[in-house]
């Protein structure tokens, strides 16, 4: 039994050696074929160089970005702009105040009617004195500067006159008249003769009214 197994193994080994020798002989005697032409490798695209400033920062969720062109550096810094001053708010147009109505002017007269009294003789005399013309009554000289009547818008109607009174004795025959002396000036009121009266030891006088017509003849002096 053992001998049979040995013979079988030897036969198997001999068969394997013969097969190996035949294969080597076949390879040596086989016709040589020219080597296959080598295909040149395909041209690889040039890599894109990304500037360092535009490269994305790697991160867990960084998305691919395309290369951005780097702006050319400016040679001169731009001049700073001056701040624009704040415009003042427009003021509303002021409405001009209503012009007050002009007061009604007093009516002016050209003649004043005056009444005089001699306290010694109790004689009275009424005479007309034109504005600006001196009128003598005994030793008194009356000069009316203005004579007015109150306006309709005034409280009480009245007549007022601005009068000056000088005392001047009459000149004696053959002598020069002595100089006069003013004893009164101010406003006389027809409706209030005691408001600004003439104060004289012998004579008294007050305003009666104002009139516009000229007197027929000046009052005769006594």
Is 26 part of a structural domain of the chain? no
Is 33 part of a structural domain of the chain? no
Is 202 part of a structural domain of the chain? yes
Please tell me which residue, 117 or 107, carries the higher pLDDT value.
117
Instruction: Give pTM, 2 decimals.
Output: 0.50
Exposed / middle / buried, residue 196 (Cβ in 10 Å: 0-12, 13-18, 19+): middle
Is 18 part of a structural domain of the chain? no
Is 70 part of a structural domain of the chain? no
Is 75 part of a structural domain of the chain? no
How many structural domains compose the chain?
1
Is 204 part of a structural domain of the chain? yes
Contact of 186 with 176, CB cutoff 8 Å: no
Both tokens of residue 9?
């193994």
pLDDT for 220 equals 47
The string of pLDDT tens digits covering residues 117-128 is 999 999 999 999
The string of pLDDT tens digits covering residues 147-173 is 999 888 888 889 999 999 999 988 788
Domain span at residue 127?
Answer: 107-211
Q: How confident is the model at residue 43 (pLDDT cuts 50, 70, 90)?
A: low
């Amino acid at each position: 039994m053992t001998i049979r197994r040995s013979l079988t193994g030897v036969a198997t080994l001999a068969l394997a050696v013969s097969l190996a020798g035949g294969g080597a002989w076949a390879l040596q005697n086989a016709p040589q074929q020219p080597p296959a032409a080598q295909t040149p490798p395909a041209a690889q695209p040039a890599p894109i160089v990304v500037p360092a400033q535009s490269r994305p920062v790697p991160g867990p969720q960084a998305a691919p970005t395309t290369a951005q062109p780097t702006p050319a550096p400016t040679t001169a810094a731009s001049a700073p702009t001056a701040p624009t001053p704040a415009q003042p708010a427009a003021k509303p147009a002021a409405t001009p105040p209503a012009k007050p109505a002009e007061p009604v002017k007093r009516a002016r007269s050209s003649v004043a009617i005056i009444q005089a009294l001699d306290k010694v003789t109790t004689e009275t005399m009424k005479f007309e004195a034109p504005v600006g013309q001196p009128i003598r009554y005994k030793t008194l000289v009356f000069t009316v500067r203005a004579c007015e009547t109150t306006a309709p818008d005034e409280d009480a109607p009245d007549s007022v006159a601005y009068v000056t009174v000088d005392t001047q004795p009459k000149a004696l025959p053959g002598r020069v008249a002595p100089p006069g002396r003013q004893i009164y000036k101010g406003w006389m009121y027809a409706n209030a003769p005691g408001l600004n009266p003439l104060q004289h030891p012998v004579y008294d006088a007050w305003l009666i009214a104002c009139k516009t017509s000229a007197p027929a003849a000046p009052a005769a002096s006594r």
